[in-house]
Amino acid sequence: MSRPYPSHLRRDTARRKDDVMGADTRLEELGVSGLGEVDEPAFSGLAERHRRELHVHCYRMLGSFEDAEDTVQETFLRAWRRRETFEGRSTFRAWLYRIATNACLDLLAKRRPEPATGGEVPWLQPYPDRLLDELPAGYADEPETVAVARETIELAYLVAVQHLAPRPRAVLILRDVLGWPAKDVAEFLGDSVNSVNSALQRARAGMREHLPAERQDWTGGEEDAGTRELVRRFTDASVATDVDVLAALLRDDVRCSMPPTPGLCVGRDAVVNSWVEDGFEGMTGLRGIRTSVNRQPAVAFYIWQEREDAYLPLTIDVLRVTSGAITEIFMFHDDQFPRLGLPERLPADGTE
């Protein structure tokens, strides 16, 4: 019997339609009959209001922070060039989402990457919480909406989404994450409502296959005291290179990957053995800084470099925690530190 798709990840489109379609700029509010009457600075000002949420939307579609940045730029360029086609039947925001979604689909049609055989997503990149904090207040203004926004930006969700074909992926995000009505999504994509509903069912089936097996395994919610203590112990044990303590913090079926490096380790023994084989126990001079990425707890690790007389970036480990144990570790390379707002170096005296 197949697992149900978590119902709390489905936005209530009946109740949300006014929120997503009405709380935004319309032509009459601009005092113009068409966007063709708006000059470039004014147009840019209107578009920039939506940059962060469009970036998050493209990030969900593509799984890559960098590709999302490029696609938002392409979205604004297309919107400016096609401004006279905006008829005012929807909001300016909805029109931008339509352009952004199709820009993502165009990119995926040109070079859709495939997940590795083990299920890992090599192009996956982290998203800084400090940038997620820039989302407009109305984007997540109720507990239900906050939960959806948090859980659909977590890395486990992003990985599952990347296994979907592009159009079902777009339908899932537009319907279940953003709450667009099926009729509007069909218009977005140039499909029929029946086609959209069929794609949504396929997408939900794909998510059931690729999401963690148990619903509570990945719906992390707000970080509690137990999670903070677990992350502290993980940080301390990592700095001390204490493999035995680290192993005790991992669940039996823990998963560990390091995008874009190929390979996925599954199971406590496999994960620990990979660390030992990579020489982890012999590493010295480590420091760890608690942070958060994709609304998940994370630790940025630095290693002492004598020639630099400083600690330099090593990896950032993003954790998924379930019932007091670490169930997944996404390790990212040091090139992600600047984007995440992390220090480029730590001095020897321990100050940041």
Task: Examine the domain organization and report whether 183 and 254 are in the same domain.
Answer: no
Whole-angstrom distance, CA of residue 189 vs CA of residue 99: 10
Question: Which residue among 216, 236, 258 closes a domain?
Answer: 216
**pLDDT given for residue 115 in this prediction:** 78
Average pLDDT over every residue of 191-216: 89
The answer as to whether 74 is a domain residue is yes
Parent domain of 173: 7-216
183 falls within a domain: yes
The pLDDT tens digits of the residues spanning 225-269 come to 999 999 999 999 999 999 999 999 999 999 999 999 988 999 999
The answer to whether residue 1 sits within a structural domain is: no
The neighbour count for residue 151, using CB atoms within 10 Å, is: 19
pLDDT in the model for residue 276 = 94
Instruction: Please tell me whether residues 191 and 244 are part of one structural domain.
Output: no
The band of 206, judged by pLDDT with boundaries at 50, 70 and 90, is very high
Please report whether residue 233 resides in a domain.
Answer: yes
Q: Return the beta strands (E) in 146-279 as ranges.
A: 250-258, 261-266
The most confident of the ranges 11-15, 114-118, 229-233 is 229-233
194 and 250 share one domain: no
The answer to whether the beta carbons of residues 265 and 256 sit under 8 Å apart is yes
Of 188, 216, 244, which marks where a domain is finished? Answer: 216
Question: How many domains are contained in the chain?
Answer: 2
CATH code where residue 32 lies: 1.20.140.160
114 shares a domain with 51? yes
Q: What is the pTM of this model?
A: 0.88
Closest listed residue to residue 222, CA positions, set 173, 158, 149: 149
In angstroms, rounded to a whole number, what is the distance separating the alpha carbons of residues 27 and 29?
A: 5
Claim to verify: residue 161 and residue 46 sit in the same structural domain: yes
Task: Determine which of 81-95, 137-151, 154-168, 171-185 has the lowest per-residue pLDDT on average.
Answer: 137-151
Average pLDDT over residues 113-121: 78
Same structural domain for residues 43 and 172?
Answer: yes
pLDDT tens string 299-321: 999 999 999 999 999 999 999 99
Which residue, of 159, 183, 216, is where some domain finishes? 216
Max CA-CA distance within the chain? 69
CATH code where residue 299 lies: 3.10.450.50
Cα dist from 326 to 119, 122, 217, 300, 321, whole Å: 19, 21, 10, 16, 5
pLDDT given at position 2: 47
pLDDT of residue 177: 93
Residues 170 and 255 in one domain: no
Same domain, 59 and 185: yes
Instruction: Note whether 161 and 258 are same-domain residues.
Output: no
Residues 96 and 231 in one domain: no
Residue 66 located in a structural domain: yes
Looking at the domain assignment, is residue 95 inside a domain? yes
